[in-house]
Amino acid sequence: MTRYLVLLGPPGVGKGTQAKILSERTGLAHISSGDLFRENLKNQTELGKMAQTYMSRGELVPDDVTIAMIRQRLSRPDCAVGAILDGFPRTPAQADALDAMLQEFKGCVDAVPFITAAEDVLVERLSGRWTCRAHGHIFNEKFNPPQKTGVCDFDGSELYQRDDDKAETVKRRIHVYLEQTSPLIAYYRDQGKLIEIDGMHSIEQVSQSLLTALKMQSS
Ligand code: AMP
């Protein structure tokens, strides 16, 4: 059965970590809009260069380019079984565009897990976050350290700290989330699709809550 899930929650709550785990355990494709922008930036594409201005300020990339990028990604064959959307939609216009897009693919947003955590925890998690260069695996120097400092446990690639994980930019990103993305909580609650998940527990506990709430078997 094709399933499309939207992971909602503030920056630093663990959407990326949980989306990776859910994708591995369910076989659904993982689509991270932030990763797609970072990949474009690494490859110095026109899209990447344009997005960089917004990303470095902690602001949102304009809706039209973001929507076009996601449409292209959703058309790829690995999404035929469905997808976990992480970081998209982030505005009501993006959510409307997603509904229209999925109609074209004869699907719809099935469920929206909304992961929550206290704001001071978000700042602490983001400022201690280390990301793997090769595949975006995520570690935290305090809560989920790699076995060897600076090296990814999964693929041995270098770990780096994202520019936008610096304290000032983190605060801006949380502000942007509250202003532009939080209206989506009501949007999906009104559709009866929102499932609240407490993100203040361990990574494994949160994954289990997600799988149980979504009534999905771990493979
Ligand atoms: P993330 O990795 O999800 O924290 O995203 C990093 C940055 O990429 C964000 O701060 C935005 O600048 C940009 N970005 C990611 N997803 C979106 C989106 N859906 N709409 C607009 N900008 C986005």
**60 Cα to the center of ligand 1, angstroms:** 6
Q: What is the mean pLDDT of residues 143-156?
A: 96
Catalytic residue among 38, 125, 129, 193: 129
Catalytic residue among 57, 71, 162, 166: 162
Q: Top-level CATH class of 3-118+182-218?
A: alpha beta
The pLDDT value recorded for residue 218 is: 58
Percentage, residues of the chain above pLDDT 90: 89
Give nearest CA residue, ligand 1 atom 11.
60
Q: What are the residues facing 178 on neighbouring strands?
A: none
* pLDDT band (50, 70, 90) for residue 216: confident
Instruction: Reply yes or no on whether 90 is catalytic.
Output: yes
The pLDDT value recorded for residue 166 is: 86
Identify the three-state secondary structure at position 136.
Answer: coil
**173 Cα to the center of ligand 1, angstroms:** 9
Instruction: Reply yes or no on whether 193 is catalytic.
Output: no
Identify the three-state secondary structure at position 209.
Answer: helix
pLDDT at 118 over 80: yes
Name all residues whose Cβ lies below 6 A of ligand 1: 11, 33-34, 37, 54-55, 58-61, 66, 87-88, 90, 94, 164, 173
The pLDDT value recorded for residue 46 is: 95
Catalytic residue among 15, 38, 125, 193: 15
pLDDT at 219 over 60: no
Please, are residues 85 and 67 in contact by the beta-carbon 8 Å criterion?
A: no
Alpha-carbon distance values, 100 to 12, 107, 109, 164, 193 (Å): 29, 10, 10, 31, 17
- pLDDT tens, 34-55? 999 999 999 999 999 999 999 9
Instruction: Reply yes or no on whether 173 is catalytic.
Output: yes
For the CA of 54, the nearest atom of ligand 1:
12
Q: Where are the alpha helices (DSSP H) in the chain?
A: 15-26, 33-42, 46-57, 63-74, 92-104, 119-127, 167-176, 183-190, 203-213
Residue spans of the domains in the chain: they are: 3-118+182-218
As a whole number of angstroms, the distance between CA 79 and CA 74 comes to 6
